[in-house]
Amino acid sequence: MSFMHPLPALNRLSASRPPRALRPRAGAALALGALALTTAGCSAKGADNANVIVGKQAFVAKCGSCHTLARASTKGIVGPNLDESFRVGLAEGLQRNAVRGVVEKQIQIPNPKGAMPAELAHGATLKDIATYVSQSVDRSGQDTGLLASAVEAPGAGKPAVEKGGKLQIPASPTGQLAYVTGKAIANAGPATVEMPNTSGVSHNIALEPGAHGATPGGPLLGASPFTTKGTASVSVTLKPGTYTFFCQAPGHRAAGMYGTLTVK
């Protein structure tokens, strides 16, 4: 007869099964099982000193391009949706302190064969991120106060305006799946659309005729190469009318990385 844990979720875990063999969705619960077995009785010291403002900023910059977290307004789809990862556990009585531990462990020791990079955060930043995530997962509503203004709203910058045949539409430097602006204006004729990207997240910029928003809507007019750090550009010939500019990385357009170009 095996040990019965008070949390039903943990009883479903097979102790002999290696965490990394599990599908991503189940990973957090399993990591939690390991945590409960190895660090039971560990104090939560340090959590109180965490800076959740920095934690939110760092989460958006380092994690949001791959993970959805409603409170942080991130919409990445490469990794599991973090609200969903912990929903069942929290409903079954999982403490947010324990969630913090799971998130810390995941950052420290991600699956070497998985898509999550190692060494994303250390020391205080690691704590700040884990604390912010543990306080935010599966919470409805919006961040308030200083937390609400910790990260600029994606795409809210001033419209980009073409000058001398050059139109610059930077990717959001925060790592959010957005350009700094959702609006651009250009004159008809040949133009080079440039996308400076300092975020470290791989983006490009592509154009199609028509205002299609998040939904792919037509033949491609042109697309730049992808870059994680640097400037990618594409040369196109614009006619008067409306175009959509967007990122072709999987999930980025759907997450909000697009805007409207008006050509006069």
Is position 170 an interface residue for ligand HEC (rule: CB under 6 A)? no
79 vs 256 by CB, closer to ligand HEC: 79
Is position 111 an interface residue for ligand HEC (rule: CB under 6 A)? yes
Minimal distance, residue 97 CB to ligand HEC, in Å: 14
Residue facing ligand HEC at closest CB distance: 114
Choices 7-15, 74-82, 163-171, 202-210; region in contact with ligand HEC by CB under 6 A: 74-82
Is position 114 an interface residue for ligand HEC (rule: CB under 6 A)? yes
Near ligand HEC in 76-95, by CB under 6 A: 78-80, 82, 85
Minimal distance, residue 115 CB to ligand HEC, in Å: 4
With CB under 6 A as the contact rule, the residue among 67, 71, 203, 252 that binds ligand HEC is 67
Rounded Cα distance, 250 and 106, in Å: 23
Backbone angles phi, psi at 131, to 5 degrees: -70, -45
Tell which residue, 5, 10, 11, has the closest CA to residue 29. Answer: 10
Is position 32 an interface residue for ligand HEC (rule: CB under 6 A)? no
Rounded Cα distance, 119 and 121, in Å: 6
Is position 27 an interface residue for ligand HEC (rule: CB under 6 A)? yes
Choices 20-28, 37-45, 162-170, 185-193; region in contact with ligand HEC by CB under 6 A: 20-28
Backbone angles phi, psi at 3, to 5 degrees: -60, 130
Choices 101-109, 158-166, 181-189, 221-229; region in contact with ligand HEC by CB under 6 A: 101-109
Torsion of CA 197, 203, 205, 206, to 10 degrees: 180
Sort strands 189-197 and 166-168 into parallel, antiparallel or unpaired. Answer: parallel
Near ligand HEC in 115-154, by CB under 6 A: 115-117, 120-121, 129, 133
Rg (CA), the chain: 21
CB atoms within 10 A of CB 51: 15
149 vs 228 by CB, closer to ligand HEC: 228
Choices 42-50, 113-121, 142-150, 228-236; region in contact with ligand HEC by CB under 6 A: 113-121
Choices 58-66, 88-96, 180-188, 247-255; region in contact with ligand HEC by CB under 6 A: 58-66
Minimal distance, residue 103 CB to ligand HEC, in Å: 5
Which residues of this protein are in contact with ligand HEC, per CB under 6 A?
Answer: 24-25, 27-28, 62-63, 65-67, 78-80, 82, 85, 103, 106-107, 110-111, 114-117, 120-121, 129, 133
